[in-house]
């Protein structure tokens, strides 16, 4: 009898722990948990001073609010050869799509570098390589290295050294509103879905 | 070995698994994290349990007939720390890391206190369940083309998966070999009772 009660208690504690780590038996990976959390809570991102190509430092939140457009944000480092270049082409196609459909007054793109080695010049060269149109697609790095960690944490970005001089990170497309809330995370390859939902959001906001 | 020696052995194993620089090194790779640190902590827990005086063992046994509660705990703990998000959280959050160390030590202790009382049938059931669960997780780790843990690289995940599958084959095989050596598997029912280790009387 005592063993049965002990087993029942262990089961209960186990269920509670499994439920906690899996967000109520809905996810098994941190990435899925991050996306679920963003959809349900739309967390506010902390402010950070950004530097872009040839411009003075500016506040991310201030810029989002002033600009007023929905921003699709990704995190990159310019030396990246693998997944960020996929993100790069993905954002290139998004830029084309935005210009073709004339949506540049509603949606824009921001690529933020998490690599301290990326300065204004490097970013400008990278932007050139990507044929970025400054009115649609901006590149920036975080001015104050102290502010990088909280920003990455708020977005849920985990950067791991890949052992051969580069980084591996959970690359995705993040939808951020002018109010500084992160409302959606889409996979690479789902740029069109990200764009469509950003437009829907812009529509709702403009009503 | 004397209880004192077991306690020292446990302390040494915990130190190897959790000393700051070693811990960082072990946890930097998914395969080392799961296939080296976890077993170290489980063995440490078992060593600590071996150092317990018989009065404490008796008190535990009262709640652990046939080792059922202890083995259930072991199964749940080992399943939990195979969840990718749990691994990620252990890397990012210190309280989760502490919980991981504590539960793995406790699982090792529970295993030590439960194995003999469990007897052949419960032992086989436990190992069988653990093995298929571990094998399925190991195959999944190798099969998915995306990273399951944000904190680990894809190739580490594949190695960890291979290691889990290997363990899921080696441990049950070792158990069968051990039983065969003891002559428990000769097919005579009376031998099964004979082969039951002493100490299975705790209810």
ipTM, interface predicted TM-score of the complex: 0.86
- As to burial, measured by CB atoms within 10 angstroms (0-12 exposed, 13-18 middle, 19+ buried), residue A118 is buried
Strand partners, A174: A73, A185
Q: What is the largest CA-CA distance in chain A?
A: 74
A38-83 per-position pLDDT tens digit: 999 999 999 999 998 777 889 999 999 999 999 999 999 888 776 6
Nearest to A107 by CA among A7, A202, A20: A202
Residue A161 — very low, low, confident or very high, per pLDDT cuts 50/70/90? confident
Predicted local confidence at residue A207, as pLDDT: 66
Flag whether pLDDT at A181 surpasses 90.
yes
Question: Do the Cβ atoms of B69 and A31 come within 8 Å?
Answer: no
Does B150 lie at the interface with A, CB-CB under 8 angstroms? yes
Range of the domain at B13: 3-183
A6-46 per-position pLDDT tens digit: 999 999 999 999 999 999 999 999 999 999 999 999 999 99
User: How many A-B residue pairs are in contact by the CB < 8 A criterion?
Assistant: 75
Question: At the top level of CATH, which class does the domain A42-206 belong to?
Answer: alpha beta
Which one of B65, B76, B84 has the shortest CB-CB distance to A28? B84
Residues A7, B75: contact at Cβ < 8 Å? no
Lowest mean pLDDT among A9-18, A19-28, A121-130, A161-170: A161-170
The list of chain B residues with pLDDT below 70 reads: 188-203
- Residue B171 to residue A188: CA distance in whole angstroms: 40
Q: Which of B59, B69, B126, B140 to mutate to test the interface with A (most CBs of A within 10 A)?
A: B69
Mean pLDDT of all residues belonging to chain A: 90
The alpha carbon of residue A167 is apart from the nearest alpha carbon of chain B, in Å, by 10
Predicted local confidence at residue A200, as pLDDT: 87
Total domains, chain B: 1
B-chain CB neighbours of A32 within 8 Å are 85
The alpha carbon of residue B137 is apart from the nearest alpha carbon of chain A, in Å, by 12
The alpha carbon of residue A8 is apart from the nearest alpha carbon of chain B, in Å, by 9
Which one of A6, A28, A170 has the shortest CB-CB distance to B63? A6
Does B80 lie at the interface with A, CB-CB under 8 angstroms? yes
In what helix (H) or strand (E) does residue A80 lie, and over which residues does it extend? none
Greater pLDDT, B191 or A173:
A173
Residues A155, A35: contact at Cβ < 8 Å? no
Question: Do the Cβ atoms of A14 and B153 come within 8 Å?
Answer: no
Residue A163 — very low, low, confident or very high, per pLDDT cuts 50/70/90? confident
- Residue B77 to residue B99: CA distance in whole angstroms: 11
The alpha carbon of residue B98 is apart from the nearest alpha carbon of chain A, in Å, by 14
- Note whether residue B194 is domain-resident: no
- Note whether residue B192 is domain-resident: no
């Amino acid at each position: 009898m005592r063993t049965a009660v002990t087993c029942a208690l262990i089961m209960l504690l186990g269920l509670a722990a499994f439920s906690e780590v899996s967000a109520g038996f809905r996810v098994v990976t941190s990435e899925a948990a991050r996306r679920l959390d963003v959809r349900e809570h739309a967390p506010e991102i902390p402010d950070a001073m950004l530097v872009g190509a040839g411009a003075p430092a500016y506040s991310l939140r201030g810029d989002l609010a002033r600009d007023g457009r929905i921003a699709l944000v990704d995190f990159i480092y310019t030396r990246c050869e693998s997944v960020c270049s996929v993100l790069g082409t993905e954002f290139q196609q998004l830029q084309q799509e935005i210009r073709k459909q004339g949506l540049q007054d509603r949606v824009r793109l921001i690529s933020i570098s998490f690599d301290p080695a990326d300065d204004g010049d490097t970013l400008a060269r990278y932007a050139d390589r990507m044929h970025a149109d400054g009115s649609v697609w901006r590149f920036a790095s975080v001015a104050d290295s102290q502010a990088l960690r909280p920003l990455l944490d708020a977005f849920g970005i985990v950067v791991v050294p890949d052992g051969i001089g580069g980084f591996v990170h959970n690359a995705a497309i993040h939808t951020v509103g002018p109010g500084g809330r992160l409302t959606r995370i889409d996979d690479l390859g789902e740029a069109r879905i990200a764009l469509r939902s950003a437009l829907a959001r812009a529509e709702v906001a403009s009503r | 070995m004397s209880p004192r020696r077991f306690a020292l052995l446990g302390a040494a194993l915990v130190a190897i698994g959790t000393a700051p620089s070693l811990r960082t090194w072990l946890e930097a790779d998914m395969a080392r994290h799961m296939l080296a640190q976890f077993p170290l902590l489980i063995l440490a827990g078992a060593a600590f349990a071996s150092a317990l005086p018989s009065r404490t063992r008796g008190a535990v046994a009262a709640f652990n007939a046939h080792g059922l509660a202890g083995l259930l705990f072991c199964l749940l703990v080992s399943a939990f720390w195979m969840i990718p998000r749990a691994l990620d959280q252990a890397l990012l959050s210190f309280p989760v890391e502490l919980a991981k160390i504590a539960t793995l030590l406790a699982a090792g202790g529970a295993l030590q206190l439960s194995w003999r009382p469990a007897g052949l049938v419960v032992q086989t059931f436990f190992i069988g369940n653990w093995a298929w669960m571990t094998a399925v997780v190991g195959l999944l780790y190798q099969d998915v083309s995306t990273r399951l843990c944000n904190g680990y690289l894809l190739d580490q995940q594949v190695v960890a998966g291979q290691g889990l599958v290997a363990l899921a084959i080696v441990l049950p095989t070792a158990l069968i070999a051990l039983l065969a050596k003891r002559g428990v598997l000769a097919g005579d029912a009376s031998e099964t009772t004979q082969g039951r280790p002493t100490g299975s009387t705790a209810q």
